[in-house]
Structure formats: structure tokens, C-alpha cells
Amino acid sequence: MRYEFDYRLRAKADQWKWIADYGKVVARDEQGKPLRMIGTHRDVSDRKQAEAALKQSELRFRGIFDQMFQFIGLLSPDGILLEANQTALEFAGLSRADVIGTYFWDVIWWQLSTETQEQLKRAIAQAAQGEFIRYQVDVQGANQQVITIDFSLRPIVDEAGQVVMLIPEGRDITELKRAEQMLELQAVITRNMAEGICLVRTDNGIIVYANPKFEQMFGYDFGELNGRHVSIINYASDTGAAQAVNLSIREAVLQSGESTYEVHNVKKDGTPFWCSATTSVFKHPDYGDVLVAVQQDITDRKQAESKIAASLKEKEILLKEIHHRVKNNLSIVSGLLQMQARRTQNAQADAILRDSQNRIASIALVHEKLYRAEDLANIDFAQYIQDLTVYLFDSYNINSSQVKLKVQVEKVNIDVETAIPCGLIVNELVSNALKHAFPADLASGAAPQRTGEIQVKLEQAIASPTEVGATHSYILTVRDNGVGLPTDFNPETTKTLGLTLVRGLVSQIRGSMEIDGNQGTEFRVAFAGKNV
């Protein structure tokens, strides 16, 4: 009979030691009861401490092993899964019981094609021969989605001398593969896009990359711009000026994060050309902050714009000359009418000639304004009305102390097609007021019986639309406080030349007219004009 057991003893200085006892019976009596035993006592404290340390180490290893999110496992040489970490299994909704003892390619968290299974078997067989294997395999995961797993197999020898495979990692690298594919696609697009692209370090202005289109645009060979200062492509009279151009561009981009501009560049052979550029700041993994400049050659467009600008300038000069000549010719006609009026002895003929002269003068004044204006399509109507009414007062020799003129015209620009009819309407209505609204002695310069007033007003009827080319509604009012209209006046049957002309002009500008003769005389003309 043998016995062995371990126990602890308290030694001196309150120290505890582990003792291992081993013994056996060496003598028995006639009934078989033990008479004498021999045994040994051995201090095994060091062994116990080593066993405790080993157990603690195993617990730490198991804790780390089980907490690893990536799959880690042990395989037998024939591919049976011997061990797997707990966290990866739980993430897949599995337990050790589900997978331990199962062939690795039959694990149910994925579906493998026959070809992929054979690939795995070959890899495991190679690893069983002592070869480190690393490979990627496409598997079908949840929701029928194909994912890419990155595996490595490292052979080890267990306590029994068997070769087993350690799987240090099994990572889902699907997103990484997609990111790599996207980067490759972006690189292909960058190399082949129609615009030139270059990357410039913000700290020193050195070009670190230029795509083939950029190099071709500036006349450089492949890679020739790399390592050169970007100011080499900026057109200027000297190197210092080119660097100043580049510095101003860089400061503008760094201040706002992105900038779009046109820049005068120069090719390798010295040929200057224009580019449209958009530059933004990007954090590069190797170079830190870089400027990403996308440039497009717009030399043809700039040349076309220059030709168009020159052509427009020529047309503007021609139009100004035309307006000047028309104004001069109308002035000649006006002068001839004035000479004829001086020679006639008939008062009625003189009045007709003077009315015709004023009508021509109102048209000539429009061309005078256009000749002197920057805008050859529109008239500053406020100033035009002011000048026209002053001219009419002078034409009829009206003293401002006798008949006062009050002009209230909003500052608006009206197109030529509307301005000339409106000017003629004002001419007819103001002339009519000067001739008929006040007593004859007042108009002839005799001492007035009362003070007369003529008011010319132009206002917008509604708020201005914001769309270019939209129409405004205007109201033109010519009012006097004179004697008013005759009691038998009927605007529909009156056949006077002036009123007939006004009705025709109002129709020409697609307007409407109202007449009020209760207190003096008031003409209100509503019309639409282009938004200029």
C-alpha cells in the first residue's frame, strides 16, 4: 500500500512551506494489518510556486486569447479545428461546441465554394509540412454578401510531437479591399482625366505629383516636374515676380481652404497661356498639407473673349457715331424749321413749325444722351425729362416766375424703344399745357393774374421684379393747374394733331391713358418697360 499527498506547514518566521509526503507499508501482521511503514518528506514549495505561476499565465493567455476580436484558432494537420477564441465565436453567434472537432472549411458562419474549399485544404497541407502560409479567400457571409478574409497559417509542434497549425489572425478585409479598389480607380481616373492635376507642398511650394495631362499641358516629360518649385509654371517677367504670383495664390487658398481663379501660366518652351484653376488644401499622409490644383487650358476661350470684347468695342464706337450723326442730322432739320419759322408771317404756320421743331428736338435729345452714355441701349429717363422740359420752357420763352416747372421722376433706366415715344408724349403734353393751360397774357409775358405750375411725374406702379428681362409698370403723369379743358371736350372725338399723336404713341408702348379736367388738366399714362 502506497500513499502520497501535499500539505502546507508553517515554518519559522511564519513562513509557509509545501511538503510532499511519499510512503508505503513494509511489514504486516498475520491478519494483514500494517505493522511498519517507511516514507519521505520533501519541500516542494518551489514547484508549487512554479505551478501557480504557470496556471496564472495560462489564465492570462486564455483571457487575452478569448478577448481577441479577430479569429484565432488551432488546426490539426488534416484541418480539424481544435481551438478557437471565444469573442470571435460569439460575434458570429457560435459556441466552441459548434466548431471544435469540425473541419475548418465546414464552419457554418460562412459558405465556401468547392474551389475555395480545395484552396483551403492545399494551404493547410502546405502548412503541415512546416511552411508559413498567408492567403486571402472570398467567402459568402450573412445576407449572401461576399466578403474577403485574410488568413495566415503558422505550423507549431504540440506536447505529443504532432504538427498543428496556429491561425494567428482571420480578418475581414472586405472594406479594405474595396478601399484599395477605389484608390486604384481614382488613380486611373486621375491619370486619364482631361484636366491637369498637381500636388504642391504648402511648406515649400515643391511639386510632389503631376498627372500626365498636367505634364503634357505644360510641355514637360513624365516626372520632370516632380521636385521643382511650382512657380516655374507661373508666367511673369522674372523669377521673383513668378514666385510672388504663386505666393498670392497660395495665401488665398490657405485662407479660405479653396479658391477658383484664372492664372497666366508658361510652358517649358516659354509659351504663355491661360488656365482656369481650382485649388484646395488636402492632408497628405506623406507630405502633410498639400495644395491640390486642377487646371484647364482656356487660352482659346480667352482669345475668343478678347476678340468678342474688341468686336463689341468697335460696335459701341460705331453706335455712338451713329447716334451722334443722327443727333446732328436732326439738329440740322430742327435748325431748318427754325429758319423757316422766322421767315413766315403766318402765326398758325409759325406754331406748326415750332411744334415740329420741338418734336424733332425731343428725339435728338435721346440720341444725344445715348452718344454720351456708357450704356447704349438704355436712357437715364430722369435726367432726360429734366432736360426736355427745360428745353420746352426755353422754346416757348416762359419765365420761371410765371409758370413753375416741377419734375418728379424716379431714377430709372428705360430702353430706347420706350424712351423715344415717352419723350414725344411728354413733349406734346407739356407743350399743350404751355400753349393752352394759362391765360394768354401770362404766356405772353404780361403781369400774371396768378402763379401757374406744370408737374411732370414718373413713378413705378409696383415693386421691381428681380428677374432680368422682366417688365416694370410705370405711370407718367403730366398735370397743370391752369384753366382746364373745355366743357364740351371729348377725348374720343377730338381730332387735334397733338392729342392724336399722343394716343398713337401710347398705343405704341402698349399703354393706357386717363384724362382728368376737373382741377386744371391731368394726363395719366400707364405703360410697361423692360427691367434694365
CATH number, position 232: 3.30.450.20
Answer whether residue 59 is part of any domain.
no
Same domain for 45 and 84, yes or no, is no
Provide the CATH number for the domain around residue 34.
2.10.70
Please check whether residues 94 and 224 belong to one and the same domain: no
309 shares its domain with 291: no
Closest of 411, 403, 357, 360 to residue 385, by C-alpha: 411
Query: In one letter, which amino acid is 229?
Result: H
162-176, 216-230, 396-410: lowest mean pLDDT where?
162-176
- The sign of the torsion formed by the CA atoms of 214, 216, 218, 220 equals positive
Give the dihedral of Cα atoms 19, 24, 27, 28; nearest 10 deg: 110
Which of 121, 145, 177 corresponds to the end of one domain?
A: 177
The answer to whether the beta carbons of residues 360 and 337 sit under 8 Å apart is yes
Looking at the structure, do residues 74 and 47 belong to the same domain, yes or no? no
Q: What is the pLDDT of residues 112-152, one digit of tens each?
A: 677 777 877 888 888 888 788 777 766 655 555 666 767 77
Per-residue DSSP letters for 431-476? HHHHHHTS-HHHHHTSPPSS-EEEEEEEEESSPPP-STT-EEEEEE
Confidence of residue 479 (pLDDT cuts 50, 70, 90): very high
- Cβ pair 412, 381 in contact under 8 A: yes
What is the distance between the alpha carbons of residues 461 and 391, in angstroms, rounded to a whole number? Answer: 28
Residue 27 pLDDT > 60 = yes
C-alpha to C-alpha distance for 509 and 168, rounded to whole angstroms: 90
The Cα-based distances of 24 to 28, 38, 237 in angstroms read: 11, 6, 110
Q: How many whole angstroms separate alpha carbon 418 and alpha carbon 33?
A: 142
pLDDT at res. 58: 60
**Which of 53-57, 94-98, 266-270, 397-401 ranks highest by mean pLDDT?**
266-270
Q: Using one digit for the tens of pLDDT, what is the confidence trace for 51-62?
A: 766 676 666 656
402 and 515 co-located in one domain:
yes
Task: Pull the grid cell for residue 183.
Answer: 484608390
Confidence of residue 79 (pLDDT cuts 50, 70, 90): confident
Range of the domain at 312: 300-376
Across 101-110, 160-169, 200-209, 445-454, least confident range: 160-169
* Domain final residue pick, 297, 331, 366: 297
Whether residue 478 has pLDDT greater than 90: yes
For 325, 504, 513, the CA distances from 472, given in Å and listed in that order, are 31, 21, 17
Q: What is the mean pLDDT of residues 473-498?
A: 82
| pLDDT tens per residue, range 334-388 | 777 778 777 787 877 877 777 777 778 777 777 777 667 667 667 788 888 888 8
Q: Exposed, middle or buried by CB within 10 Å (0-12, 13-18, 19+), for 194?
A: exposed
Predicted local distance difference test score (pLDDT) of residue 525: 92
Pick the residue with more confidence: 235 or 317?
A: 235
In angstroms, the first-to-last Cα distance of the chain is 123
The answer as to whether 63 is a domain residue is: no
Q: Which one has a higher pLDDT value, 111 or 91?
A: 111
Query: 287 and 142 share a domain?
Result: no
User: Which of the residue ranges 8-12, 406-410, 485-489 has the most confident prediction, judged by mean pLDDT?
Assistant: 406-410
Q: What is the pLDDT of residues 246-304, one digit of tens each?
A: 788 888 888 888 888 888 899 999 899 999 998 999 888 888 888 988 888 888 888 88
Which one-letter DSSP state was computed for residue 523? Answer: E
DSSP labels for 481-520?
-SS---TT--TTT---HHHHHHHHHHHHTT-EEEEE-SSS
Whether 100 and 223 share a structural domain: no
Report whether 222 contacts 215 (CB < 8 A).
Answer: yes
Q: Quickly tell me which residue has 414725344 as its cell.
A: 424
The reply to whether 273 and 130 lie within a common domain is no
Q: What's the pLDDT score for residue 110?
A: 62
Is residue 266 within 8 A of residue 273, CB to CB? The reply is yes
Residue at a domain's end among 313, 345, 376:
376
Q: Is 190 exposed, middle or buried (0-12, 13-18, 19+ CB in 10 A)?
A: middle
Band (pLDDT 50/70/90 cuts) for residue 524 is: very high
Q: What percent of the chain has pLDDT over 90?
A: 7
218's enclosing H/E stretch is: helix 212-218
Of 316-325, 356-365, 443-452, give the lowest mean pLDDT range: 443-452
Q: Measured between alpha carbons, how far is 298 from 295 in angstroms, rounded to an integer?
A: 9
Helices 416-436, 347-372: inter-axial angle, 10-degree rounding: 150
Report d(CA 46, CA 62) in Å as an integer: 24
In a domain, 500, yes or no: yes
Q: Are 475 and 458 in contact (CB under 8 A)?
A: yes
What is the tally of helices (H) and strands (E) in the chain?
A: 13, 21
Are 512 and 466 spatial neighbours (Cβ–Cβ below 8 Å)? no
Whole-angstrom distance, CA of residue 330 vs CA of residue 531: 29
Of the spans 20-24, 215-219, 463-467, which averages the highest pLDDT?
Answer: 215-219
**Residue 36 — pLDDT band, cuts 50, 70, 90?**
confident
Are 383 and 530 within one domain?
yes
Residues 86 and 119 both lie in one domain: yes
The reply to whether 186 falls in a domain is no
Whole-model pTM?
Answer: 0.44
DSSP for 117-163 reads: HHHHHHHHHHHHTT--EEEEEEEE-GGG-EEEEEEEEEEEE-TTS-E
Average pLDDT, the chain: 77
Q: Are 165 and 127 in contact (CB under 8 A)?
A: yes
Residue 80: HSE in the Cβ half-sphere, 13 Å Cα cutoff: 7
- Look at residues 157, 148, 176, 164 and name the one whose alpha carbon lies nearest to residue 104: 164
Q: Is the model's pLDDT at 513 over the cut of 70?
A: yes
Beta strands at 288-297 and 258-266: parallel, antiparallel or unpaired:
unpaired
Same domain, 102 and 153: yes
The answer as to whether 292 is a domain residue is yes
Indicate the burial class of 422 (C-beta count within 10 angstroms; 0-12, 13-18, 19 or more): buried
| Residue 187 resides in a domain | no
Long-range contacts of 419-422 (CB under 8 A, 24+ apart): 419/366, 419/378, 419/379, 419/381, 419/384, 420/363, 420/366, 421/505, 421/508, 421/509, 422/381, 422/476, 422/505, 422/509, 422/527
pLDDT at res. 267: 92
Q: Is residue 18 part of a domain?
A: yes
Q: In terms of domains, do 425 and 483 share one?
A: yes
Which residues contact residue 520 at a Cβ distance below 8 angstroms, ignoring those fewer than 6 apart? 437, 479, 480, 481, 482, 483, 484
Does 58 fall in a domain?
A: no
The total domain count for the chain is 5
